[in-house]
Amino acid sequence: MSTTTPAIRSVKARAVIAPISRPVKNAFGVIEAAPLVLIDVETDQGITGRSYIFAYAKLTLEPLVHLIEQIGRDLAGKAIAPFDLVAAMDAKFRLLGWQGLVGMAVSGLDMAFYDALGQAAGRPVAELLGGSPRPMRAYDSYGVVDPIADEKDLKRSLDQGFRGIKIKGGNSDTANDERMVKGVRKLVGPDVALMIDFNQSLNPAEAISRIARLSPYDLHWVEEPVAQENLQGLAAVRRESSISIQAGENWWFPRGFAEAIAVGASDFIMPDLMKVGGVTGWMRVAAQAEAASIPMSSHLFAEASAHMLAVTPTAHWLEVLDLGRAILAEPLQIVDGSVTARGPGLGLSWNEAAVAKYSV
């Protein structure tokens, strides 16, 4: 183990479209495969820090790759001190703003920086942050489902030990959402947490009405019922809802969470490592959640999120939507419905043959 802090030698980004185990249908379309950007931060110690981000659409892959590599050129030679590097990137993009592709690039780099530090220390990131890897309770994340056609998949999730299942609604009318929720609840039984995600597809009045219709089915939470930026609308829905409201995957950086918490926008929060500012941003939001006594879950990136939840005082649920399986040398492991962080670093390594196969 080196006694000196590694410095950035170079940054490489690669685009892939990775197959996923099942399509994810939401209110706005279907995700058939995962457009990912793989980030490699080469250091002067011969260590490579790794992370990946989810580009949502193929058309954003090329600009993300270019942006990440350009930022990397500006950071070459700097010591990997994430607090200092985030401050430098904040200054660089202050006038432009951090949302969108810039925020995704900055967050992805921050994750890779921590992976490099963990590898240099020979320790998992959870340990670098003062905790230790432990099994984190996970839920299996689906899109819109048909309780009959998807029965085999849903039962497989239960066989893996998942004690939570999330499905998506809002792509049709209230009656169809109720039929789906009723069918899945009957299939999974009363002891499994059932969540529904509307992906911002409703207005506040629609959301209040639809939630009332679904209230008999013991939903654990309703996720993003209205537009993520409509904090007052979310707060209004929360006041009228008999079901807990979950949000946060599309709030940007710690300030976005501070504004949402201040207006009481949701009962639960779920940062996305790619939008919250990576490891650095997550830790700042975790402190806010602890101060406000708000349960905090993860969104995507289960491999890295398992490290973060292990050091989150109000840790709630880890989402499993296994986007990286096809390109990872050691894919995510589900044991009794839980995920335990692996190291050193974030525990990520690429299956280079698969990366070449799915490269775009």
pLDDT tens digits along 281-295: 999 999 999 999 999
pLDDT tens digits along 219-277: 999 999 999 999 999 999 999 999 999 999 999 999 999 999 999 999 999 999 999 99
- Cα 42 off chain centre by: 24
| Residue of 168, 220, 307, 316 marked active site | 168
Overall average pLDDT of the 104-120 stretch: 98
Q: Residue 4's pLDDT is what?
A: 86
Distance CA 17, CA 33 (A): 6
Count how many Cα atoms sit within 13 Å of the Cα of residue 219 in the half-sphere of its side chain.
29
Q: Residue 1's pLDDT is what?
A: 45
pLDDT tens digits along 94-108: 999 989 999 999 999
**How far apart, in Å, do the first and last CA atoms of the chain sit?**
36
Q: Which domains does the chain have, with CATH numbers?
A: 8-125 (3.30.390.10), 127-347 (3.20.20.120)
Residue 3, pLDDT > 90, answer no
Full-model pTM: 0.97
66 catalytically annotated: no
Nearest of 269, 323, 325 to residue 300 by alpha carbon: 323
Residue 202, pLDDT > 70, answer yes
Q: How large is the C-alpha radius of gyration of the chain?
A: 20
Distance CA 136, CA 341 (A): 8
Distance CA 202, CA 186 (A): 26
Distance CA 219, CA 238 (A): 14
155 catalytically annotated: no
Overall average pLDDT of the 140-146 stretch: 97
| Residue of 166, 275, 299, 316 marked active site | 299
Residue 16, pLDDT > 50, answer yes
pLDDT tens digits along 45-91: 999 999 999 999 999 999 999 999 999 999 999 999 999 999 999 99
C-beta neighbour count of 208 within 10 angstroms: 18
The single-letter DSSP state of residue 350 is B
Overall average pLDDT of the 167-192 stretch: 97
